[in-house]
Structure 1
């Protein structure tokens, strides 16, 4: 397998992830007392927050795949971090600069504020500060907690892949995932009043990243890969079974025991389900699922998924402030129209950002080369067709 080759099905999965997140953030403020339909939307739309778990699985799969393919390269570390910086920093620095300037100009509000120091945002450790605010940080930067977890993961995982023999790496990654899920459950059991810490603390959210990474390592062993694809029917039915649980899982998150469900079993359940979906998306041959993931719509949203994740909330803030002079809400038809307008504004802004900032930065990143050929690049079944 060559991780440098683009896999269109993964773009589709990115598109699914960002659509889950943006839909959730758009309808999370709906009033469930407005009728049965509103109540159902309020209850089930919370499943959209699982888009972050899907992003984690995809990140683990792609990043560890790249690192595994180039672990013998003399430019292993320098090329990886140069490419990551050019991928992550340009849109992110635009967000942080705008946030800082607007906060200095207009002061604190729902969207702006200085509870988290700028230096923490610039060093990607803001998720640890978010624990103290218990989710009350400024809305413009609230979503960056997951980016911070990924960046902290990127600091450690290259060294792990480089140092550990591949024959041991799969077991270690699976152990990390199980340890993270177990520690999260134990932490919440010991600290039931901390409703936010288990959601944003890095050691407690590594199961999704570890599962994606484990799949990437497994694919690079001919024997393991063959065994995985030999069980594809069982994997498909297990995935269907896990997906059938999703409505009940979403309903439980709106119950009095929602945090217990989320932290004891929820994230591990989601990471496992999305890991199986990832396997189905990258299996040999073709099928209905793979055709759907190659759709142009999902591919488009996958292309702008990173910047849309960063900017869809600020776009809502701008639109609602200009038209209402207030923060976002979803109570009336006109509120719904403003939500649609804000989403369109975010998409157009991110499309322009991709055209003039992200795209050129990624092209610049490709000028940094690993000084060796990718290893184990014979898995043609999941290479781009």
Structure 2
């Protein structure tokens, strides 16, 4: 998944330290729990993509695969966290000169290097195995971040690449958000309507999903089309802006958060356990995704002040996975065909259960190693440049 701002940095004006107000940290500092939440979401997505629909003879193995199937919830959590961080960063920069230049430069140095390296690997693999048509017909779609458009999906499925690209749709959703969101947010900010903008977009996205369910739109529209998924990003953005409105609204959020979280868990559980067993798409897209967005916002809020969730997500292991989450998201599916070929070569006649365990063992070992190598030897170079751009912008403002 495209990484949100690495140093989970936000700011808030006028937060009281009185005992009656929620206790929040210095929100201009790095918040480790948000890194851990990103790592948790990344692990969940890896689990989901390596689940299997095969029924095993062992109940414990079936239970594991069912739990792995819930990992899809990591993507909405990613989206909400990205919306929270990016909207907060934008809001805090609007009063500064050349805010837009600095924002787009920093986003480019964080996202583009790994993404276009991935496209280079896809191109090299397609050329190496003789799939030149796939490279020629589809690479430009990925290069322009258009792979989530339903009108182009038939081309992507008609000319599949050697390496897996099915998960790259979420990167397109985030990049389109980063590209477009600053402008309407800035215009709304100037009129003191930024909070309302987030709420309106969230509701419009929800209604668009309802309309697509009613019209029986193709599955690709439900899961990857930006207008239907941007609500999750704006839910996080709403929280980021609400915390900047002062004590009264912050205190109200503290009071209603437990009820919102409880209602979201009940609604989500109902969709998972009691919705029709034949097709859960309609309730999951309409009710489930909305409930999950609200729950994600509550989780983010509780990570901002001391408590069990902050301690959980501040775990060193989860924070490390959060640090490498961008590469982990990209590589875990990109090389899935390679992992499968390794299993088929060395365990060709083994049982399906053994092959499956071998596959997830390989994927869960090599993918984090590849992501770590990518982060520490490649991405970190561009992250240093990004930080220099940030420091240069601050020094110019100070002068």
TM-score interval, smaller chain: 0.7 to 0.9
Is 2:97 the partner of 1:97? no
Runs (5+) with no aligned partner, structure 2: 1-9, 12-26
Aligned partner of 1:295 in structure 2 is 315
1:242 Cα deviation from its structure 2 partner: 2.8
1:50 Cα deviation from its structure 2 partner: 1.1
Structure-to-structure mapping, 1:260-275, within 5 angstroms: 260-275=282-297
Equivalenced residue count is 365
**Cα pair 2:265 2:291 within 8 Å, conserved:** no
Aligned partner of 1:354 in structure 2 is 375
**Cα pair 2:87 2:237 within 8 Å, conserved:** yes
Structure-to-structure mapping, 1:1-385, within 5 angstroms: 1-2=10-11, 5-27=29-51, 29-32=52-55, 34=57, 36-107=59-130, 113-114=134-135, 117-128=138-149, 132-133=153-154, 136=157, 138=161, 140-165=164-189, 167-190=192-215, 192=216, 194-231=218-255, 234-251=256-273, 255-283=277-305, 286-325=306-345, 331-369=352-390, 371=393
**Cα pair 1:47 1:250 within 8 Å, conserved:** no
- Given the two structures, how large is their TM-score scaled by the length of structure 1? 0.86
For 1:253 and 1:346, the matched residues in 2 are separated by 34
Task: Return the structure number with greater relative CO, CA threshold 8 A, min gap 6.
Answer: 1
For 2:113 and 2:72, the matched residues in 1 are separated by 25
Q: In structure 2, do the counterparts of structure 1 residues 39 and 319 end up closer, same or farther at CA, with 3 Å as the change threshold?
A: closer
**Cα pair 2:164 2:336 within 8 Å, conserved:** no
**Cα pair 1:219 1:225 within 8 Å, conserved:** yes
Q: In structure 2, do the counterparts of structure 1 residues 330 and 274 end up closer, same or farther at CA, with 3 Å as the change threshold?
A: farther
Partner SS state of residue 127, structure 1: coil
Partner SS state of residue 127, structure 2: helix
Deviates more, 1:333-342 or 1:364-373: 364-373
For 2:81 and 2:252, the matched residues in 1 are separated by 18
**Cα pair 1:87 1:365 within 8 Å, conserved:** yes
For 2:151 and 2:62, the matched residues in 1 are separated by 29
Q: Give per-residue Cα distances to partners, 1:341-380, cap 9 Å, x unaligned.
A: 222111111111111111121111011137469xxxxxxx
**Cα pair 1:46 1:250 within 8 Å, conserved:** no
- Given the two structures, how large is their TM-score scaled by the length of structure 2? 0.83
For 2:124 and 2:353, the matched residues in 1 are separated by 32
Q: In structure 2, do the counterparts of structure 1 residues 152 and 252 end up closer, same or farther at CA, with 3 Å as the change threshold?
A: farther
1:67 Cα deviation from its structure 2 partner: 0.4
For 1:327 and 1:302, the matched residues in 2 are separated by 33
**Cα pair 2:268 2:291 within 8 Å, conserved:** no
